[in-house]
């Protein structure tokens, strides 16, 4: 396959190295010679790691899986920006052509109380899983799939729900927020489900429990700076946060408790 520029870059890397959760960690400098402009950021790190292994040194740990920008596994700060300088791009989809020859690239893990560092550039994002477990689902009886057209959904609602559903849970929103807030992530799930007829049934309980879990995990509040949305590889909108705020208020004033004795 052709089409690449074929040019190489000589870079310097400053990478956060931390042996484990309890290690204090520090930046370590590495030379990255002859990096193809056509390689992805993670391929560049693979090359560095190959050399480190050959020198019997510990390779740099980082999360990755699909390398297609859809799984949400990868992600760290590159020169202060979550997922690097490009908008709507995950680290795995970031290409080295976006960097200049001779540049020093600084890499550090997502930093948040709720995202403790596991090792090097890897952080523990299970706080997100617990927020989902708290209510980010629809309880449905299993059975045959209903006919797609049997449940009408207004097109604007379907579009907004789809946009919110593109969240891959990478954590860039938390990482880039000055308050390490998880509002964009949580709100994407809340509005995705609350916009759809199947999700409306549990909308009050869902937002109550997801927000409570989000707070309990130690994420900060929203200051409406918009850095989360700007850093989001899927461009999730701040409008979701506004919707979550409305949902929580609606739950506070409208939620009904189930009557004792099955309401009889």
Partner 1 sequence: MAAAPARPFFLSTIGKKYLMALTGLVWAGFVLSHMAGNMLILVSANLYNAYGHAIVSNKPLLFVAETVLILSIVVHVTMAIMLTLENRQARPQKYAMTPNGAKGSSLASRTMAIQGSLILAFVILHITTFKYGTYYETTVDGVVMRDLHRLVIEVFHQPGYVAWYVLCLLLLGFHLSHGVGSIFQSLGLRGDNVAHKIKKVSLAYGFIVAAGFLSQPIYVFFFNS
DSSP state of 23: S
Residue closer to partner 1 (CB basis): 32 or 36:
32
Contact 111, 125 (CB under 8 A): no
* Helical axes 203-216 vs 183-194, angle rounded to 10°: 170
What is the closest distance, in whole angstroms, from the C-beta atom of residue 247 to partner 1 in the complex?
8
Q: Which residues contact 143 (CB under 8 A, 6 or more apart)?
A: none
- State which residue, 40 or 186, has the beta carbon closest to partner 1: 186
Which lies closer to partner 1 via its Cβ, residue 39 or residue 231? 231
Q: How far is the CB of 83 from partner 1 (least distance, A)?
A: 9
Shortest Cβ 29–partner 1 spacing (Å): 13
Query: Minimum CB separation from partner 1 for residue 85, in Å?
Result: 7
Which one, 10 or 224, has the nearer CB to partner 1? 224
Cα–Cα distance for residue pair 206/251, rounded to 1 Å = 9
Residue 162 has φ and ψ, to the nearest 5°, of: -65, -45
Which CB sits closer to partner 1, 54 or 253?
A: 253
CA distance 95 to 89: 10
Burial of 25 (0-12, 13-18, 19+ CB in 10 A): middle
CB of 55 or CB of 178, closer to partner 1: 178
Nearest to residue 42, comparing CAs of 74, 72, 5, 14? 74
Q: Find the shortest distance in angstroms from Cβ 252 to partner 1.
A: 4
Cβ–Cβ contacts within 10 Å for residue 147, how many?
A: 7
Rounded CA gap, 7 and 192, in Å? 43
What's the CA gap between 145 and 227, in Å, rounded?
Answer: 39
Give the strand pairing for 104-108 and 77-78.
antiparallel
> Nearest distance from residue 63's CB to partner 1, in Å?
18
Task: Give the residues lining the site for partner 1 (CB under 8 A).
Answer: 14, 27, 77, 79-82, 85, 87, 106, 108, 111-114, 130, 133-134, 176, 178-181, 183, 205, 208-209, 211-227, 230-231, 237-239, 241-249, 251-252
Compute the least distance from the CB of residue 32 to partner 1, in Å. Answer: 18
Burial class (CB in 10 A: 0-12, 13-18, 19+), 124: middle
Q: Which is nearer to partner 1, 47 or 226 (CB)?
A: 226
């Amino acid at each position: 396959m052709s089409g690449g520029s074929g040019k190489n870059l000589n870079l310097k890397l400053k990478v956060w190295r931390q042996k484990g959760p309890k290690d204090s960690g520090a930046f370590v400098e590495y030379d990255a010679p002859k990096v193809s402009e056509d390689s992805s950021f993670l391929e560049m790190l693979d090359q560095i790691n190959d050399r480190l292994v050959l020198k019997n040194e510990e390779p740099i740990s980082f999360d990755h899986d699909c390398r297609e920008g859809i799984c949400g596994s990868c992600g760290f700060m590159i020169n202060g920006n979550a997922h690097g300088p490009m908008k709507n791009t995950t680290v795995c989809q970031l290409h080295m052509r976006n960097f200049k020859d001779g540049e020093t690239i600084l890499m550090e893990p997502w930093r948040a109380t709720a995202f403790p560092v596991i090792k090097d550039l890897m952080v523990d994002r299970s706080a997100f899983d617990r927020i989902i477990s708290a209510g980010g689902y629809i309880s449905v009886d299993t059975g045959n799939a209903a006919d797609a057209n049997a449940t009408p959904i207004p097109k604007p609602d379907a579009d907004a729900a789809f946009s919110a559903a593109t969240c891959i849970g990478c954590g860039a929103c938390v990482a880039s927020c000055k308050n390490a807030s998880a509002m964009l992530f949580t709100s994407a799930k809340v509005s995705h489900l609350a916009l759809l007829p199947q999700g409306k049934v549990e909308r009050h309980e869902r937002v109550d429990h997801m927000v409570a879990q989000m707070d309990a995990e130690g994420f900060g509040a929203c200051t409406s700076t918009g850095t989360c949305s700007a850093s989001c590889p899927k461009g999730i909108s701040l409008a979701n946060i506004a919707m979550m705020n409305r949902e929580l208020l609606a739950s506070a004033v409208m939620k009904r408790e189930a009557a004792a004795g099955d309401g009889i």
